[in-house]
Amino acid sequence: MTFKTLDDLGDIRGKRVLVREDLNVPMDGAKVTDDTRLRAAAPTLSELSDKGAIVLVLAHFGRPKAPTPELSLAQIVRPLADVLGREVRYIDWEGDKEAVATLQPGDIAVLENTRFFGGEEKNDPAVVQRFAALGDIYVNDAFSAAHRAHASTEGLAHVLPAYAGRSMQAELEALEKALGKPEHPVAAVVGGAKVSTKLDVLKHLVAKVDHLIIGGGMANTFLAARGVDVGKSLCEHDLTGTALEILDAADKANCIVHLPYDVVVAKEFRANPPTRTVNVHEVAADEMILDVGPAAVEALGDALKTCRTLVWNGPLGAFEIPPFDAATVALARTAAALTTAGQLVSVAGGGDTVAALNHAGVADQFSFVSTAGGAFLEWMEGKELPGVKALG
């Protein structure tokens, strides 16, 4: 798709720019425990400020039923200012027009939680106009909220000149390289606990990629569909028929599906229990599969070496509990090494995925790591994202 970026803005000195950011950061009391989203917002906010715009930040925080101090964006102002290294003001919705009128070129202000308006999530035209009255230009820099057609994520793009911020631009360009117009062969790693949560992803990917690597509890459902006794492993036995349909679709699309042939099993789900590494056909009735085995991981690494593009969503095993992080860490490090060597374009996304890549120490070596959850997943499902479509 084509969309305008900050490069297309022209002279914006003194113009009021409404910037939709994702400031929905985790907090412990008054302390931000992960400022990734604040750092992602920094390039756009700093650039607009440096060009003399009056920067007005729109964002949501939590899921308020009504305005409440606990979910006020006032508490994000200081952490954001610390990241930006410049002053940031806070503007409540009460008297916002008067407060905005006092701002000078280069000033940055965070407006109150957009979800304090009941019509925000309904994309209410009255709320859209309420927001639009404060600005001259709209910039969407929040890909992670782009799957929602809300007033601040989609509605504003239809009533003000609309542009993609730097974070949004980077995300869309990376996704285009990954699945839009990728260099083949393309591999996709899809992990996670349940097939049911990623059915649409799998159905979409088999027609798009050359190698589909299935891990996590999802792989157990596919193994069971092929007649493997997975013991007491997490498995959606009622979806084995669907798994077979996906395997059949992959076969027709010449997509190679990779399932583990050796696995790490244990009788209890806890840190460092007694384990065995066995062929998938040797899982005992009282054992559960908790990770992909080393032989299969080595084979998966060899498959990645033949590929030019990789999309990754979800871990291969129960990576949060040792030693069941081994497969995810090993394959992530292989992908990172191939990326660093210039042999692979690697794009990853989703909360568990980001945590797994950070755990493996390789997140900064991937071509692009998306912090978006639902939006990244919907993009992998091939769905049109309202907030992105509105920029086109």
**Ligand-binding site membership of 302 (annotated):** no
**Ligand-binding site membership of 22 (annotated):** yes
**Ligand-binding site membership of 226 (annotated):** no
- The conformation of residue 238, written as its DSSP 8-state character, comes to G
For 103, 112, 142, 361, the CA distances from 86, given in Å and listed in that order, are 15, 19, 21, 31
**Ligand-binding site membership of 352 (annotated):** yes
Burial class of residue 189, CB neighbours in 10 A (0-12, 13-18, 19+): buried
Phi, psi of 150 (to 5 degrees): -100, 170
Residue 280 to residue 293: CA distance in whole angstroms: 9
For residues 266 and 288, the answer to whether their CB atoms sit within 8 Å is yes
**Ligand-binding site membership of 148 (annotated):** yes
**Ligand-binding site membership of 60 (annotated):** yes
Whether 97 is a known active-site residue: answer no
**Ligand-binding site membership of 309 (annotated):** no
Which SS3 state, helix, strand or coil, does residue 16 take?
Answer: strand
Residues 6+ apart with CB under 8 A from 152: 20, 58, 59, 60, 114, 120, 131
Which SS3 state, helix, strand or coil, does residue 239 take?
Answer: helix
**Ligand-binding site membership of 130 (annotated):** no
**Ligand-binding site membership of 313 (annotated):** no
- Alpha helices, DSSP H, located in 123-229: 125-132, 166-175, 199-205, 216-225
Catalytic residue among 39, 130, 177, 194: 194
Catalytic residue among 14, 180, 351, 392: 351
**Ligand-binding site membership of 333 (annotated):** no
Residue 349 to residue 362: CA distance in whole angstroms: 13
Strands of the sheet with 262-266, listed across from one edge: 275-279, 262-266, 288-292
Residue 86 to residue 80: CA distance in whole angstroms: 9
Catalytic residue among 231, 301, 373, 374: 374
Whether 135 is a known active-site residue: answer no
Whether 194 is a known active-site residue: answer yes
Give the DSSP letter string of 25-80: --EETTEES--HHHHHHHHHHHHHHHTT-EEEEE---S--SS--GGG-THHHHHHH
**Ligand-binding site membership of 63 (annotated):** yes
Whether 4 is a known active-site residue: answer no
Residue with token string 């349909």: 245
Residue 16 to residue 48: CA distance in whole angstroms: 10
**Ligand-binding site membership of 351 (annotated):** yes
Residue with token string 């493996």: 360
Residue 47's nearest CA partner among 166, 172, 168, 169 is 166
Catalytic residue among 37, 51, 89, 208: 37
**Ligand-binding site membership of 7 (annotated):** no
**Ligand-binding site membership of 20 (annotated):** no
**Ligand-binding site membership of 319 (annotated):** no
**Ligand-binding site membership of 276 (annotated):** no
Instruction: Provide the annotated binding site for substrate.
Output: 22-24, 37, 60-63, 115, 148
Instruction: Provide the annotated binding site.
Output: 22-24, 37, 60-63, 115, 148, 198, 320, 350-353
Instruction: Provide the annotated binding site for (2R)-3-phosphoglycerate.
Output: 37, 115, 148
Residues recognised as catalytic = 37, 194, 351, 374
Instruction: Provide the annotated binding site for ATP.
Output: 198, 320, 350-353
